[in-house]
């Protein structure tokens, strides 16, 4: 069991005594109910010096080149094996900043809540936010809460934006990718997407598959500190999976990419679930996973360093940047045949047979 | 995964390929009937690894692709106009009707749900007693038992608000139709392993004997397909025409009698329209009169005019193996998975879509 889960199970944040069980439109009115929910809940739980100012915006001190990122989170169900929408929202933006080579510092947190959401569930999401922030070392410094009528949302939508200074040694840019670069994947593919599938209505199947949601900033910053400009590009293959993100990079950077199916790390249960549902794991969403384009000379050292890290113990080199076939990603199948990796025309849907 | 990796062993694959090369002495055309096998061929890069003398022809084997346009229009109508909860397998949702797909109907607010089991649809019906639930029951003989079982289950439990819109297609009559087509030149067939898991192999013996073609019941892993191809070629080279079973680890000669029993309880064989091909005699299942209350076609009696297929689409010729996807003037140009003109481009199992995604002939 990862450190992440151990801490989560020990975390005790009793829900404040509130005289309402569900979120109502009144909680988004800006009046008494709003203040009661925020004062007794959000502010106390996420308290820090900047948030405690309770001003319209946050007063921040940032120096040097800074990264800024935003993301919205809508996931169904909002609680899934291995996490919930709260930690997803924190980790997502933290990781987007980390992929820029930045040290995430401050986040905004906004909720759009559908009327009728049990306050207990809202509290559980907030607690997950608090925990994810602690683990990543970031602070929520401003935010917003809106409530929409029943039927006009999907329980809860969360938006996070974040800023952080870029590490002085970071030289992350697609322009730096060179022929010979090795493509390293930090861990098993498709775990998050299949964890969600395993509990989605109509597709429920018994499994122990857990989402891989986690913050990657400490891992990334340690790599940048050690390998500096040899890390050419970092990206997290969330929606669309590994295939989509690599195809995007190949197209926009006009590079060729060779991948080797036999080298892809994948959990056995995840692989079986993908087979069962007829889904290609290369297109399934990930969360706590990143891809690194690393100079050929340092690739083995980066891999060895990653293997020492909880977030990189399953890391593998899965491909190489080549001069041939620019804009194309070509994968050698397990039996040695070759196929071109394209983007999906739409959402990947389970096949009939 | 261990049980699957055994069937993806690169060393064994090389041995099979070598044996195919050593066995084949002249050009042969082999049709893989099932879209799952087409998918396996292109996904694993097998087509390019085969010797030039072996041509793989991609058959009509995607039940989603061949579902009649008119039936999709009916499903959309039931979801949009009748307000039923329309449930189906995932890849059925993207198939375009004459006006829109079920996915588009869902985007416009219709209650369209992706399920993996029709029994789940019965549960939805029980949970929503004031709504009508229709399961769009598509598939080969493979999915027929579960679809039939849902009807029996609903009947036993007295569920009145459940019905199925059946569009089942049967493989042996399709093989016969392909062979009967004057233009098609198929020397041997890989039959669909999962279909035979249910129905057994007996239906293929008269076909093989009458037309003097080898038929090898084949699985879906790369080594299954390679071994199936080798078995067909061996027969062809020895002028044999037998039914062989490559998928013996799963398929028994008599199939699954329990599954056949439940199919027979609910369905009867009928002539069936195949999108892109036309009507094939005795190639589909209709719900028996006994279960008419669970037959959405009868329950709603929707009459929607037959819409014409796109005249630029040559899908019928592709599914009979007369032409290859890239021999179509529209392939990858006006016809793409995001804008399919015809049946084989709509589902990932379809020959055109499989080529589009994996062959690298066209940029996505």
Label the pairing between strands A256-260 and A329-332. Answer: parallel
In a shared domain, residues B14 and B139: yes
Same domain, B164 and B82: yes
CA distances from A133 to A15, A92, A179, A192 (A): 19, 11, 38, 20
What is the C-alpha separation between A269 and A259, in angstroms, rounded?
A: 23
pLDDT digits (tens, 9 = 90+) for B236-274: 999 999 999 999 999 999 999 999 999 999 999 999 999
Do the domain assignments include residue B34? Answer: yes
pLDDT for the residue A7: 45
Same domain, residue pair B306 and B319: no
DSSP state of A48: -
Q: Does residue B361 lie within any of the structural domains? A: no
Q: Between A and B, how many CB-CB pairs are < 8 A?
A: 122
Closest by CA position to A142, among listed A50, A11, A224: A50
Nearest residue of B to residue A280, measured between CA atoms? B43
How far apart are alpha carbons A337 and B45 in whole angstroms? Answer: 4
In a shared domain, residues B151 and B296: yes
> Which residues in chain A (280-299) have CB-CB distances under 8 A to chain B?
280
Which stretch of DSSP H or E encloses residue A44? Answer: helix A44-45
Q: Would residue B362 count as lying in a domain?
A: no
Is residue B90 domain-shared with residue B118, that is, in the same domain?
Answer: yes
> Of the spans A34-48, B97-111, B342-356, which averages the highest pLDDT?
B97-111
Neighboring chain B residues of A271 at a CB cutoff of 8 Å: 1, 4
Provide the mean pLDDT of chain B.
92
B234, with CB counted inside 10 A (0-12, 13-18, 19+), is middle
- B274: tokens are 């195949």
Q: Which two tokens stand for residue B123?
A: 């549960």
Structure tokens at B262: 């439940």
**Which is higher by pLDDT, B20 or A16?**
B20
Query: How close, in Å, is residue A19 to chain B by CA atoms?
Result: 32
Of the candidates A295, A287, A334, A337, which has an alpha carbon nearest to the alpha carbon of residue A317? A295
User: Is the CB of A335 less than 8 angstroms away from the CB of B44?
Assistant: yes
Helices (H), A175-330: 191-199, 217-227, 241-253, 268-277, 299-307
User: Distance of CA A291 to CAs A279, A334, B276, B320, Å?
Assistant: 21, 21, 43, 43
CA distance A297 to A294: 8
Contact A190, A241 (CB under 8 A): yes
Q: Tell me the angle at which helices A299-307 and A217-227 cross, rounded to the nearest 10 degrees.
A: 140
Residues in B closer than 8 angstroms to A207, CB to CB, are none
Closest alpha carbon within chain A to B119: A202
Contact residues, chain B, for A328 at CB < 8 Å? 360
Å between B337 CA and nearest CA of chain A: 6
pLDDT tens for each residue of B207-244? 999 999 999 999 999 999 999 999 999 999 999 999 99
Q: Provide CB contacts within 8 A for B7, sequence distance 6+.
A: B219, B221, B222, B223, B224
Does B45 contact A343 at a Cβ distance shorter than 8 Å? no
Distance between CA atoms of A195 and A215, rounded to whole angstroms?
A: 18
Q: A151 CA to chain B: closest CA distance, Å? A: 12
Q: Which residue has the higher pLDDT, B206 or B91?
A: B206
Q: Is there a domain that residue B155 lies in?
A: yes
CA B21 to CA B8: how far, in whole Å? 19
B43 touches chain A (CB under 8 A): yes
Per-residue tens of pLDDT for chain A, all 353 residues: 344 444 444 456 778 877 789 999 999 888 888 888 888 788 989 999 999 999 999 999 888 999 999 999 999 999 999 999 999 999 999 999 999 999 999 999 999 999 999 999 999 999 999 999 999 999 999 999 999 999 999 999 999 999 999 999 999 999 999 999 999 999 999 999 999 988 886 667 788 899 999 999 999 999 999 999 999 999 999 999 999 999 999 999 999 999 999 999 999 999 989 988 888 999 999 999 999 999 999 999 999 999 999 999 999 999 999 999 999 999 999 999 998 898 876 777 766 65
Alpha-carbon distance A216 to A236, whole Å?
10
Q: Is B138 found in the same domain as B123? A: yes
Name the residue facing A333 among B43, B63, B143 (closest C-beta): B43
Whole-number Å distance between alpha carbons of A328 and A205: 36
Chain B residue nearest residue A327, CA to CA: B363
In degrees, rounded to 5, the angle at the alpha carbon of residue A24 between the alpha carbons of residues A19 and A25 is 135
**pLDDT-wise least confident of A13-17, B191-195, B202-206:** A13-17
Chain A residues with CB inside 8 Å of B63's CB?
A: 352-353
**Residues B223 and B324 grouped into a single domain:** no
Q: Does B136 touch chain A (CB under 8 A)?
A: no
Question: Are B221 and B92 members of one domain?
Answer: yes
Distance, in angstroms, between B204 CA and closest chain A CA? 21
Task: List C-alpha distances in Å: A7 to A55, A94, A147.
Answer: 32, 19, 31
What crossing angle do the helices spanning A217-227 and A85-99 adopt, rounded to 10°? 10
Residues of chain B in contact with residue A259, where contact means CB-CB under 8 angstroms, are none
Cβ separation B64–A352 shorter than 8 A: yes
Of A12-16, A34-38, B161-165, B191-195, which range is least confident?
A12-16
- Write down the pLDDT at residue A4: 45
Q: Peptide bond before A77: cis, by omega within 30 degrees of 0?
A: yes
At B19, the pLDDT band (50, 70, 90 cuts) reads: very high
B8 part of contact set with chain A, CB < 8 Å: yes
B204-233 residues touching A, CB cutoff 8 A:
222-223
Please report whether residue B183 resides in a domain.
yes
Q: Answer yes or no: is B173 within a domain.
A: yes
Kindly list the residues from chain B whose CB atom is less than 8 angstroms away from the CB atom of residue A206: none
Find residues 327-346 of chain B whose CB sits inside 8 Å of chain A.
336-338
The answer to whether residue B107 sits within a structural domain is yes
CA distance A341 to B358: 6
Touching check for A152 and chain B: CB below 8 Å?
Answer: no
Q: Which residue of chain A has the CA closest to B114?
A: A202
Number of domains in chain B: 2
- Is any Cβ of chain B less than 8 angstroms from the Cβ of A114? no
Are residues B298 and B230 part of one domain?
A: yes
Find chain B residues with C-beta within 8 A of A346's C-beta.
Answer: 94, 103, 337-338
**Integer Cα distance of A127 and A82 in angstroms:** 14
Distance to chain A for B92, nearest Cα, Å? 8
Across the interface, of A275, A336, A353, the residue whose CB is closest to B10 is A336
Among candidates B45, B103, B142 on the partner chain, residue whose Cβ is nearest the Cβ of A353: B142
Q: Is A328 on the interface with B (CB under 8 A)?
A: yes
| Structure token digits, residue B334 | 């006006």
Q: Which residues of chain A does B44 touch, with a Cβ-Cβ cutoff of 8 Å? A: 333-335, 337, 339
Three-state helix/strand/coil letters over B282-339: EEEEEECHHHHHHEHHHHHCCCCCCCCCCCCCCHHHHHCCCCCHHHCCCECCCEECCE
User: Can you give the CATH number for the domain in which B135 is found?
Assistant: 3.40.50.11740
Q: Name the residue range of residue B341's domain.
A: 314-356
Average pLDDT of span B107-111: 95
Residue B37 lies in a domain: yes
The pLDDT assigned to A5 comes to 46
Q: Does B45 sit within 8 Å of A333, measured CB to CB? A: yes
The residues, ordered by sequence, that sit 6+ positions from A225 with a Cβ below 8 Å of its Cβ are: A167, A169
Could you read off the pLDDT of B28-72 as tens digits, one per residue?
A: 999 999 988 988 998 899 998 999 999 999 888 888 888 998 999
CA distance B218 to B246: 5
Using a CB-CB distance cutoff of 8 angstroms, which residues of chain A are in contact with residue B94? Answer: 346, 349
User: What is the least distance, in Å, from the CA of B289 to any CA of chain A?
Assistant: 27
Considering the domain architecture, whether residues B301 and B319 belong to the same structural domain is answered as no
Handedness of CA A317, A89, A198, B117 (dihedral sign): negative
B286 and B339 both lie in a single domain: no
Q: Is the pLDDT of residue B281 over 80?
A: yes
The residue among B357, B359, B361, B362 with the most chain A CBs within 10 A of its CB, best to mutate, is B357
Q: Could you write out the DSSP letters of every residue in A122-156?
A: HHHHHHHHHHHHHHHT-EEEEEEEEEE-TTSSSSE
Same domain, B307 and B329: no
Q: Which of B90, B92, B220, B359 to mutate to test the interface with A (most CBs of A within 10 A)?
A: B90
Indicate yes or no: CB of A335 within 8 angstroms of CB of B46.
yes
């Amino acid at each position: 069991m990862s450190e992440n889960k151990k801490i989560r199970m020990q975390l005790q944040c009793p829900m404040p005594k509130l005289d309402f069980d569900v979120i109502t439109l009144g909680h988004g009115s800006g009046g008494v109910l709003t203040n009661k929910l925020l004062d007794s809940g959000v502010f106390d739980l996420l308290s820090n010096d900047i948030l405690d100012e309770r001003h319209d915006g946050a007063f921040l001190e940032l120096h040097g080149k800074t990264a800024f990122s935003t993301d919205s989170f809508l996931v169904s169900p909002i609680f899934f094996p291995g996490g919930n929408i709260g930690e997803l929202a924190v980790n997502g933006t933290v990781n987007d900043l980390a992929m820029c080579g930045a040290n995430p510092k401050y986040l905004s947190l906004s909720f759009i809540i559908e009327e009728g959401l049990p306050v207990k569930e809202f509290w559980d999401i907030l607690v997950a936010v608090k925990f994810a922030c602690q683990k990543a070392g970031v602070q929520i410094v401003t935010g917003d809460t809106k409530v929409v009528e029943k039927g006009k949302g999907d329980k809860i939508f969360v938006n996070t934006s974040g800023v952080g200074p870029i590490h002085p040694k970071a030289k992350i840019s697609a322009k730096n990718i060179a022929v010979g670069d090795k493509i390293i994947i930090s861990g098993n593919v498709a775990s998050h997407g299949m964890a969600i599938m395993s509990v989605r209505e109509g597709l429920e199947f018994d499994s122990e598959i857990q989402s891989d949601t986690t913050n990657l900033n400490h891992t990334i910053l340690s790599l940048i500190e050690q390998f500096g400009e040899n890390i050419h590009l970092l990206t997290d293959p969330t929606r669309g999976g590994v295939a989509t993100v690599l195809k995007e990079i190949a197209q926009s950077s006009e590079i060729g990419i060779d991948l080797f199916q036999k080298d892809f790390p994948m959990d056995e249960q995840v692989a079986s679930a993908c087979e069962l549902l007829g889904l290609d794991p290369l297109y399934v969403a990930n969360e706590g996973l990143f891809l690194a384009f690393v100079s050929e000379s340092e690739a083995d050292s980066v891999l060895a360093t990653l293997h020492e890290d909880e977030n990189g113990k399953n890391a593998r080199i899965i491909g190489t940047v080549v001069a041939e076939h620019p804009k194309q990603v070509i994968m050698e199948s397990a039996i040695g045949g070759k196929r071109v990796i394209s983007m999906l025309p739409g959402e990947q849907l389970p096949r009939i047979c | 995964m261990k049980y699957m990796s055994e069937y993806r062993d690169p060393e064994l694959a090389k041995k099979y390929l070598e044996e195919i090369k050593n066995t084949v002495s002249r050009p042969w055309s082999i049709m893989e009937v099932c879209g799952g096998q087409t998918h396996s061929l292109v996904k694993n890069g097998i087509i390019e690894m085969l010797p030039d003398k072996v041509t793989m022809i991609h058959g009509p084997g995607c039940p989603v692709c061949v579902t009649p346009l008119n039936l999709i229009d009916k499903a959309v109508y039931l979801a949009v106009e009748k307000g039923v909860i329309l449930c189906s397998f995932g890849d059925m949702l993207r198939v375009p009707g004459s006006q829109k797909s079920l996915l588009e109907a869902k985007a416009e607010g219709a209650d369209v749900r992706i399920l993996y089991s029709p029994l789940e649809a019965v549960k939805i019906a029980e949970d929503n007693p004031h709504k009508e639930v229709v399961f769009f029951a598509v598939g080969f003989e493979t999915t027929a038992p579960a679809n039939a079982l849902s009807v029996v289950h609903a009947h036993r439990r007295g569920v009145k608000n459940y019905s199925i819109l059946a569009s089942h297609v049967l493989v042996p009559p399709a093989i016969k139709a392909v062979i009967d087509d004057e233009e098609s030149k198929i020397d041997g067939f890989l039959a669909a392993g999962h279909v035979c898991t249910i129905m057994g192999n007996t239906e293929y013996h008269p076909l093989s004997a009458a037309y003097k073609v080898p038929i090898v019941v084949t699985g879906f892993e790369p080594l299954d397909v390679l071994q199936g191809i080798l078995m067909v070629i061996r027969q062809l080279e020895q002028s044999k025409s037998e039914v062989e079973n490559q998928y013996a680890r799963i398929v028994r000669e008599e199939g699954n009698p329990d599954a056949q029993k439940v199919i027979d309880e609910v369905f009867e064989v009928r002539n069936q329209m195949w999108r892109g091909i036309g009507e094939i005699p005795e190639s589909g299942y209709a719900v028996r009169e006994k279960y008419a209350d669970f037959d959405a076609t009868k329950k709603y009696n929707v009459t929607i005019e037959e819409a014409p297929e796109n005249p630029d689409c040559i899908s019928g010729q592709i599914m009979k193996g007369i032409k290859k996807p890239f021999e179509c003037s529209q392939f990858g140009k006006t016809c793409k998975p995001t804008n399919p003109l015809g049946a084989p481009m709509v589902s990932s199992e379809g020959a055109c879509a499989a080529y589009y995604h994996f062959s690298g002939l066209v940029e996505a």
